[in-house]
Amino acid sequence: EVQLVESGGGLVQPGGSLRLSCGASGFTFSSYWMNWVRQSPGKGLEWVAKIKQDGSEIFYVDSVKGRFTISRDNAKKSLYLRMNSLRVEDTGVYYCVRALQFLDRYLDLWGRGTLVSVSS
């Protein structure tokens, strides 16, 4: 089955760290750009980060630059998001998302999401 499964979310205090993981199955992971998109409670979507197939190109939304690091391990078919210096406003559901092959700005396969709560 073609799917993405996130893990690693949880409750953390402001200033703390978390590492999200995403396992891919059912498709050739190494052939796709991969992304993290978050959704704050009751709010809209925000593209957090994206990484090219071989990891040679990476982009972040301004609000997480210097704090979050996206990475991937193609041999393990896994995507990661290291989140440091977490803020209350980072709270939300974090989705692991695959982009369309050859059209990397469009997101065609989404995981179910993992909840990150930043609170004291």
Partner 1 sequence: QSALTQPASVSGSPGQSIAISCTGASSDVGGYDYVSWYQQRPGKAPKLILYDVNIRASGISSRFSGSKSGNTASLTISGLQADDEGIYYCASYTRTKGLDVFGGGTRLTVL
Q: Which residues bind partner 1 (CB under 8 A)?
A: 37, 43-47, 49-50, 59-62, 95, 100, 103, 105-108, 110-113
- Minimum distance between the CB of residue 9 and partner 1, rounded to whole angstroms? 14
Cα dihedral 74, 72, 46, 62 sign: negative
- Minimum distance between the CB of residue 13 and partner 1, rounded to whole angstroms? 27
d(CA 74, CA 105): 20
**Beta carbon nearer to partner 1, 45 or 88:** 45
**Beta carbon nearer to partner 1, 66 or 120:** 66
**Beta carbon nearer to partner 1, 13 or 25:** 25
Q: Is 75 helix (H, G, I), strand (E, B) or coil?
A: helix
Task: From 64, 47, 38, select the one nearest 116 (Cα to Cα).
Answer: 38
- Minimum distance between the CB of residue 65 and partner 1, rounded to whole angstroms? 9
